[in-house]
Structure formats: structure tokens, C-alpha cells
A and B are shown apart, each in its own frame.
Chain A
Amino acid sequence: MNFILSADFWFSVLAGTTPVMLATLAANIVSQSGMFNLGIEGTMLMSALMGVLVSAFTQSLFLGMLAGLLSGIILSFALGYFTLYLEAPMNSVGVAINLFSAGVTVFVLTLITGSKVTSSSLTSLTFPAVHIPLIRDIPFLGRVLSGHNLITYLGWIFAVGLSFLLYRTRLGLDIRATGRNAEAAASVGIQTNRVRFKALLLCGIFCGFGGMYLSMGALKSFTANMVAGRGFLSLAMDTLSSSHPLLGWGGSLLYGFSETITIYLQLYSDADLKVISAFPYIFIILVLVIAQLARNLLVRRKKNIQLKGR
């Protein structure tokens, strides 16, 4: 297990974290506004494909990015439109979005490339890796923190930015108020549907980047079903982090860590593959149980001290 000490390993952890983290941010903002987006998986998938296609045909990374973001936003708005205006049940619309995306992406892919599986016959563009001056020169840390894909850094900025937005701005307060008690929010004049669409706009952007990271960053092409459950995982992360973006980031790191360690174990150890592939999930469960136990202990401690104090 020497690899744990290598900079490459930790670099991969951060890279593996990126798509889950963006998906979790999307889940965070939506549930803070009082909705539930089961369709994050499909939304990311669609963005992953659209980014690849448009960048391949226009040979413009910027237009590719726009297309990816736009499709993310459109699918998120679809959730809002169907549930808020047509009063369709939230979960059904989410499932519909996933089915729609899974089908449409493969259909379009086959139509354009002839392959049902991958877009590798197209020359699509990717987001660049960024080497950060000064930081890149720090021994060890430089190799962990610098050189990531542009979207990874955007994700970090989004996580910090989103928690600032939620807890320090008027819009954030409106979003949280709407999410917790929409009737009360409306009674002081907040336009709750408008607030929710703002949240969905952000959700779409996060899903867009999350999807494009997979097909235009981590890999250089689109493959069918490449989101591979990360969108669903984000819903769990969202619940575990009580929809707080920074905690969500922490949870995603945990996932990134266990995903990476699994890959390394498969390469470097001769343990049973089945055991290894169960590792990430067991690991995450263990960490969460320990964290919760520690929290309970702290709370109990605090109360006892107060009562004994007098």
C-alpha cells in the first residue's frame, strides 16, 4: 500500500472526486429550494454528449461548453416546468428525464457516429489542464493540487461560491426559506417559483460541467451510460451532507478516495477482486457511522456539562 504516499494517488483522488462533487452540488441547490431532482444522472449524461458533439462539429470548445450547459439547463427547467406549473409528481419527472436521456443519447450517438457505444470516431475537444504557477513548484503538494482539468478547479470555486450564496446572500436565504416552508415564504412576498427556477438554473450548470468533465476531461469521448450512477450517488451525498455544499464536497472526496484506492488495489494487490470492488461502499458506510457516533457523543457531553455546571 505504498501508493498511498504518492502524489499521483492523491491527484487521482481529486480528479475522481470532481464529477461526483458537481453532481452533489446540483443535488444540494435543488433540495435546498425544496425540490428533489432524481434526474441528475440523465441531465449529466445529456450534457456529456452534447458537449462532445457540438465541440466536434464546430471545433470550438466554447460552443461545445455552451451546448453542454444549455442542455443541462433545459432538462433542469423541464423538471421545474412539469412539477411547478403542471403539478406532475417530482420523482416521476426525474425518472422520465433519466429514461429520456439514456435513450436519446444512444439514439443520437448511433445516428451520428454509427456506433452505439462511443463517440471516439469524432475528434471532439477537451477542457485543458491547468498548471497553477507557484503552487506547482511546491514539493508533493504541487503535484497533487496543480495540473488538474479546468473543470475540477471550477468545481472547487462552485462549492465555495454556492455555500457563500446559500448562507450569505439574499437569494440564498430566499432559496432556503422557500425550501423549508414555501407557504411562509410566499406570505412575505417571495415569488417561490421564480426562486426555484433560479436554483434549477444553477443545478443545470453544475450538471452540465459534471457531465462534460466525464466526456471532455477525464476521457476524450462520450461513451453510453458514462455517468455510471454518479448522479444517483449525489442524491445520497446530498442527504448525508444535509444539503450543505462544503459537507457535500467532503462526502464527494470520500467517494473519490475510495474509488481511487479501489483502482490502485486492483492494480497492485492480489486480494479478491470482488472484495475490492465492495470496498468503496463499505468504507463510506464505516466513515459515516463513526462520524455520527462522534457527533452524538459531543452533543451529549455538552449537555451534561451544562447541567452539572450548577
Chain B
Amino acid sequence: MGVELLRVDSITKVFDGGIIANQDISLTILQGEIHGIVGENGAGKSTLMKILYGMENPTSGAIYLENERLELRTSRDAIEKGIGMVHQHFMLIEELSGWENFRLGLEGKPFLIHRQDDLNELREADKKYQLNVDGSLLVRDMSVGMKQKLEILKILHRGVKLLILDEPTAVLTPQETDELFARLSDLKKQGVTIVFISHKLNEIRQICDRITILRDGRNMGTYPVGGLSNEKISELMVGREVSQTIDKPFQEPGDVVIHAENLKQADVHGVEKLVNVDITLRAGEILGIAGVDGNGQNELFNVLTGQAKDYVGQIFFEGDDVHHISINQLNKLGLSKVPADRMKDGVCKELTIWENLFSPRIKNFTSKFGALKQKKIDEEARKLINDFQIKANAPSQRVQTLSGGNIQKVVVAREFSTDVHALILNEPTRGIDVGAISFIHQRILEMREKGSAILLISSDLGELLSLSDRIIVMYKGEVVARFNHQESPVTEQELGLYMLGLKKMESMES
């Protein structure tokens, strides 16, 4: 056994309202190891990490770093001790640019800001860690993947002894994940200790030395990763076996619901993000969009859902040109959507669960005179919380006090529970645990069976291949391949060739 770096000694965390997030957790992190933490949504992983980073104070218990007791009042104390953390939800200031976020809080920076110096420093670090972050962009103009890489770059550049990564790969593509893992291995060789959280067991297997399993705020044990089978891990996590097989019956698609023709869009710098995109989406089918992050998928999402109106071309929703239809109106017409960034576009985190669940259709819950029907709200909210297995105390709990995966479930529950004609999904299972993923997949298939037209953007090729009826590959804003996956299945390898731009179909039917 190696040398102990950090010891967590019976940490308990009880939040206001009596939620016990961590219960008597003890564990040891060894010098130079990559230590995985797994557990269901709401098991208490993020809470424990925030305690180690000084963002939350434990109700009881102690932390020792190199056998010295740590008194962490704020993150500043943790940073001083050489602890760095990449959070599950971005800790970036959207209105500032990449380099401003990068230099924020850095020690030893001069009082006057030299933009060029900071930008160069970022570029150098970026080159060193090969993350491809464009530091001159405003954060709000960055893709989710780039934001995540900026977060990682920010922390790596500070040089830490203990690096905590809370679901860093949830928003990265498989390629980016591999690159991140290569960097992490380098860091490990340099003696950095890493705590890594993920819901993807193959990732845990790939880089972790030991893992700790949390269930309902309790430590179920720490094991060398080699000694555990996936089934055993799942069992320890959930307490029962999880089945992951999806069974998808053949289904003829119905009428056209969304039809988009010749879509073009450019960003503020005039770079083309969508190039002559044609899309036809029919009732009762799932159209998968494959592509490496940043090849126009997000722009397509924004345009189709009515969030971006600055496009050229035409989009028809059930025959009507949507250009002059507001988002609100589209929603009423039966367009639902799950956005990629749940905290920014998916929920209003200061509001309660029921407010988030019902705000788009609050009319259904008001009396003639506009008063809210609290009882009906409470009943239906409880039903949705139950149906979608959201781990929450009550419908009146504020969304920001839910765990990341459970916030995602709130978004999914809201969007799936209305009268849906079309469903546009951008990474719908991001940050959701294994058990809940197969549950959400089931729901997506149910929606298909009920006749919703579903567009699925996902960087998880496994998810795309198992759910989609047809698949489109996007590369540099252009559709480079179309497959009828339901009739003649394609393989991951074949998709990969198109995604990387190595191949392009000449003639395609849309």
C-alpha cells in the first residue's frame, strides 16, 4: 500500500431540511493514485467533494491532509493547501471571456491587466495540455465541451497536489475523454493525486486504481478496481441488478412533423456553423445526430427549437414556417426540448421543483381567477418525482439543492410529460446514473411509440445506435452522411469515419 495523502474521517453532512447527504463517511486517498468515486444520482458524491474543497462545511467529522488536520472555511483555504476541483456544474462567469476566467484568482498576477499576456499564458498552457480552448471567446459563446475544457485548463494551470474531478467527462466526447485521460496519466506520473467521479464504469476501469462506492450517503467500501466486476459495482451502488438491454420494436414512421430546408447560420465572426442542412423528422421515429462536439449540432438545436432566429433557410413545424413563432408558442404547439446545459437553459435553479416542472403549462393548474391549485400541483408533482425517480424531499425543494443527475431528471420529466409532437433532445442522459439512463431510454422509446417525432443529439454513440431509427452525421456544419439505421444498421466504426471527416456521402436522400 502507498502513502496516505488524504484521510476523510467519519464525515457527516446534514443539509437544512434534514437531508443527509453524507453519513459517517471515512476513506483514504493514497499519494499518486487515481481514486474513482461512484454512486447513484444523489448518493452524495458532489457533496463530499465540495467538503474536501471547502465549499461546504461538514456537520461533523474531520479531514487530514498528510496527517495534518485541515480546517477549510472557504475554497481559498483548500486552494492554499494544493487542492483543486473541477465542478460538476461550471464555475465560469458567462459574461467574461475565456482568458479572464482563466486568470481570475491566479496568484501573483500584476494589478494591471495585460490582455495579451494573459491570452498568451492561456495559449501556452493550452498547448501544454492540448485541450484546444479558444481563450478569446466569451464563455457564453463557447460550446459546453469547450467550457469544460476551460475549467480543466484553469485548474491544471494552477498546479495542484490533489485534483478533484466531478464528472468531467459528462460533457466531453469520447475523443476528448481519451485526450483528458492521457493528460491525467501524465499528471499521475508527475505525482499528482486524482479523485475522479463518473457514471461510466468503463471510464472508471480505464484510469482508476481504486474506487469507493457511495450509496445513500454511505461508504459501501473502497476496492482495487481490478478486483470488481461491473455487475458487482452496480450491485453495490444500487443494491440490485440493473438490466441495460433495450428492446426496440420496428415501427413505420408517420407524417412529417419538422421539415427544415437549406439551413444556414453563421456566428459573430462570420464562421459558418450550419451549411445547407436539410432535415425531415417524422412522427414516431428517432433521428439521431452524430458528430464530434462543435460541428453544428448545438446550432441545429437552437435553430430548430426557436432559440436562434438568425438563420437563413426555412423550418416548418407541422407545415407552418416557424421563423415568426415565438418559443412560447412553439412550446404550446407541442415542441419539447432538453438542452445541453441544464443549469443555463434547462432550469431556473432558484425556483422549486414544481415551479420548474409546471411553469410552461401553469394554466392547467390555475383556477378561473388565476389562483394556483396547490393541491393538484402537489399531487402531480409528486407523481412526476416518483415516475422519474427524482431524489427529492418534496415538490417545494429548490432545484439548486438537488444533485446534478436529479436536476437533469427534472428537465426530462417536464419535457416528457406534456402533449409532445416533437422532442428535440441534446444529450438527454448527461450526468445520469446507469440505472436511470436505461429508464430514460425506455421513456424515449415510449414517446416514439406514442408517435412523437424525436431528434436525438448525443455524443454517446452507444446511445445513438441503440435508440435511433435513422442517423445523420454532421461535420463542420454540413450533413455528410445519412443512414437508415432501422433497416440496415450501421456500426460505430463506420460513423466514426464520417464524424472525423474522412468520408462523405455524395448523394443522400433527406
Taking Cβ atoms with an 8 Å cutoff, the residues of A that contact B are 167-174, 176-177, 180-181, 183-191, 303, 306-307, 309-310
Contacts and interface: CB of A to CB of B under 8 A. Distances in A.
B165 to A, nearest CB: 14
A190 B310 contact: no
Contact of B105 (A169, A171, A183, A189): A189
Interface string B256-283: 0000000011100010100000000000
A180 B94 CA distance: 8
The 9 A-B residue pairs with the shortest CB-CB distance in the complex, in nearest-first order = A188-B105, A184-B91, A189-B76, A187-B91, A189-B105, A189-B79, A306-B270, A181-B93, A180-B93
B91 A170 contact: no
B96 A191 contact: no
Contact of B111 (A169, A177, A310): A169
A189 B266 CA distance: 37
B221 to A, nearest CB: 30
B111 A171 contact: yes
Nearest to B275: A310
A180 B96 contact: yes
A168 B112 contact: yes
Contacts of A169: 111-113
B200 interface: no
Interface residues of B, number: 34
B111 A170 contact: yes
B266 A307 contact: yes
A183 B91 contact: yes
B109 interface: yes
Main SS class of interface, B: loop
A179 to B, nearest CB: 9
Contact of B113 (A173, A177, A303, A307): A173
B55 interface: yes
Contacts, number: 84
B192 interface: no
A197 to B, nearest CB: 16
Contact of B95 (A168, A180, A190): A180
Contact of B96 (A177, A186, A306, A307): A177
A177 B103 CA distance: 11
A173 B75 CA distance: 19
Interface string B75-99: 1100110000101001111111000
Nearest to B311: A307
Given A180-B95, A181-B93, A184-B91, A168 B113 contact: yes
A188 B270 contact: no
Contacts of B110: 170
B393 to A, nearest CB: 22
B361 to A, nearest CB: 30
A181 B266 contact: no
Contacts of B96: 173, 176-177, 180
Given A174-B104, A307-B312, A187 B87 contact: yes
A257 B87 CA distance: 50
B218 interface: no
A166 to B, nearest CB: 11
Contacts of B111: 169-171
A183 B400 CA distance: 13
Contacts of B80: 189
Contacts of B45: none
Contacts of A310: 264, 266, 272
B74 interface: yes
B149 interface: no
Nearest to A186: B75
13 contacts: A169-B112, A169-B113, A171-B111, A172-B113, A177-B104, A180-B93, A181-B92, A186-B55, A187-B75, A188-B79, A189-B105, A307-B264, A307-B266
Given A186-B74, A189-B75, A170 B109 contact: yes
Q: Which of B87, B103, B265, B310 has the most CB of A within 10 A?
A: B310
Contact of B266 (A171, A173, A183, A306): A306
B470 interface: no
Interface string B94-128: 11100010011110011111000000000000000
